[in-house]
Structure 1
């Protein structure tokens, strides 16, 4: 099976994670059962040899190809071709044989049968068009829900799920893919195209919660510190979402605004062992940027006493935030 995922630009984490989960479902040994090929490494014609191995008499002949070597070990692996649009056309020719016949001939002329392998390709081609279309659809769905709510209809849709229209796939996406890959037979081998859409607000809240829970668990295990937060904190951090960087932008926002504060407080010895910390949104007058302009709401860190009283931590900003050690 070949499958292409189209994400918001550069949101590499989600696609790779999906492929890994498929491998985890299929194989007990994910290390062997998951093969990731970074296709940006195969942009030149001569780099095809790295893919399937050099022919006899050429340098590196004994080493074998990156893909063929791993497929020999696990012929039914989940193979991820990351950023497939960056690969040289000659590599696509090899992939055609792979998808069409379910086998691959390496540089030594040996055939590797891999009919049971699952091939997943990812690409950022048409990602801007997909993101724009998805945001439009989401807006329309929200307006429809508001109208139904105003008319007191019972079938109000609260789901944030939206479906990309068949017309959009045919009229917008297919021509872009054809222009990119220039081969109908290559696109014809793809069983399914999965579209990665920008996150809606409720999904962002889940992502922020997941990140905060990860760091709260670390704080508890490493330093016996309990970390608490309320809903406005989730909303504020979700505001750091960048369409072009996907889930990674949320991870970065939590590290920048929460973890760096925790690390600074820890290094300045402001955190007694076993204490409870509460994160909240502070929209007070002191929330200013370096030029003294109002920078909007900021995150505030309070230490909570046994009697539930709280005291704001006076954390000095680190001298160089980029060199700040994370709260590991």
Structure 2
């Protein structure tokens, strides 16, 4: 009997709320004043009664300390702080934490929301404060994308999903709408809960966070309202701090430095783009118009990659900040609707256009119009309005402001002329370099060191500086081609910078080949446990396959055709066991393979014809 008492006492210390359920039966059992029974009946009955009562009490006690999702979210909805605390403690005691995003206070509902979102949506500031105190994270994102999508993801019927959203989240909101990407601050703004918004902002909630539609919490706040003023004040602080941090990062890590890490060559193009962006970012540009570039050059020369890296630099790798549209899909007149949305009464009116939907989410995005020369003239008319006014009207009549966007168009117009001109510039530059070398060799020994120093200093300034496209070539060769194709001066007049991409130099081709071989070496190691190496002559042999019309793509194809094909054939014939090392060598312009078996010291030539 003393054992039952001590066990019950230990449990009671951890659960005062269940004390009466256990104490009363145990006291009755332990009392010496019982009904008159025989000694055997008396002892056995008391013992059975004690065991049954203790079991019932322990079951009730255990139930009181098991996490209950329904109670947890209901408590958040009605503002029951004690129940929230009890459920969080139960989740911790049972070892049931949250998910990968946070701890027990951040446990998600089966349909995607958190308790903090529930409390904010129902204007329960006390519950918001308690959840934040318990460790809830204020910037978690909503996963509820509407009744149909949520039902499909959870394996439920849409009607059941609608009912649960209304019963277990908030009955005042449209359960059929998508709230994907919302934060608790979005819900506090919609509920016009200034107290909840204040608690979230003081806990570090980001007032500039955007939902899946690209809207901030401020978009859903009433005007005027205390919640709106509060969110607006904090948003200004965040924007000022973000602008200061971005300026400091640009000072320490300029755009040119970022672009050169990912773009081979194209020094002049990089400097032109960086200079224009710097003017825009530092307030030395026309704020009434967006920044517009036209990238000209051969295919595979780095035009698209430069636009991608510009977006990554400007918006910290946010995928929504880079919008790419292949203009070869807009060659017909009616496809303008696909760009800005169909007018009222037409199929697809509610969906909107590809460009307008994307710009509505991020009006400051980097937008790439790939192969713009293939678009229909009516599409160019839409782009002219976009470039000229920095605004666009979609099919629903909604005006989208995008003066802070950066628009990049790419085109292969005049690609052959630019390529031939670039090759001529390179030949002239090589001739000047050779002339400097001969002049240095002809000087007395005392002056050679001075010339050498001058030459090395000019090379550090950048060999691309000598490859500047002349104004005469632009005006007499390129501009007439552009004007003949686009047929309007006002379109070309809205382009801030026409950027020329020139053919690669020999050194840049060697760099491209080395990068391509390095990529294949990584695949060989990861997929087949083969160590791939190559001699220096391999780079030159593969670089000879460069085609000025196809740019870096020709190098990629040359590596695959001459090197990877041989490696794949050797692997198919069993000559490359896992763990071996493979060496690429060049002999008389032909690539040869040599393999070193696992544990061997030397490479053995590989004759594919004899396999």
TM value normalised by structure 1 = 0.88
Residue in structure 2 matching 1:163, options 465, 468, 473 = 468
Offset from partner CA, 1:104-155 (integer Å, 9 cap, x none): 0001111111111110000111111111111111111111111121111544
Aligned pairs for 1:34-53 (under 5 A) are 34-53=322-341
CA positional deviation for 1:308: 4.1
2: CA distance, partners of 1:39 / 1:3: 15
Aligned pairs for 1:37-76 (under 5 A) are 37-76=325-364
* Structure 2 residue 603 is matched with structure 1 residue 315: no
Match of 2:594 in 1: 302
Match of 1:244 in 2: 549
Match of 1:115 in 2: 403
Residue in structure 2 matching 1:184, options 481, 489, 498 = 489
User: Does the CA-based 8 Å contact 1:49-1:65 persist in structure 2?
Assistant: yes
CA positional deviation for 1:272: 2.2
Offset from partner CA, 1:285-325 (integer Å, 9 cap, x none): xxxxxxxxxxxx2110101365642211232599xxxxxxx
Q: Which moved more, 1:164-173 or 1:299-308?
A: 299-308
CA positional deviation for 1:72: 1.0
Match of 1:4 in 2: 294
* Structure 2 residue 565 is matched with structure 1 residue 260: yes
Where do 5+ consecutive residues of structure 1 fail to align? 284-296, 319-328
User: Does the CA-based 8 Å contact 1:80-1:121 persist in structure 2?
Assistant: yes
Match of 1:91 in 2: 379
Pick closer, same or farther for the CA change 1:316–1:116 going to 2, 3 Å. Answer: farther
Instruction: Mark the structure with the bigger radius of gyration.
Output: 2
Runs of 4 or more off by more than 6 Å in structure 1?
A: none
1: CA distance, partners of 2:399 / 2:431: 56
2: CA distance, partners of 1:28 / 1:144: 42
Match of 1:209 in 2: 514
The structure carrying a bigger helix percent of its residues is 2
2: CA distance, partners of 1:32 / 1:138: 39
User: Does the CA-based 8 Å contact 2:419-2:549 persist in structure 1?
Assistant: no
2: CA distance, partners of 1:3 / 1:145: 33
- SS of the aligned residue for 1:193 comes to strand
Residue in structure 1 matching 2:438, options 126, 145, 150 = 150
2: CA distance, partners of 1:307 / 1:32: 51
2: CA distance, partners of 1:29 / 1:207: 24
User: Does the CA-based 8 Å contact 2:294-2:498 persist in structure 1?
Assistant: yes
Match of 2:65 in 1: none
Instruction: Give RMSD over aligned pairs.
Output: 1.8
Match of 1:288 in 2: none
2: CA distance, partners of 1:168 / 1:183: 20
Count of paired positions:
303
TM value normalised by structure 2 = 0.48
The structure carrying a bigger strand percent of its residues is 1
2: CA distance, partners of 1:199 / 1:118: 27
2: CA distance, partners of 1:41 / 1:224: 42
Match of 2:48 in 1: none
Residue in structure 2 matching 1:269, options 543, 552, 574 = 574
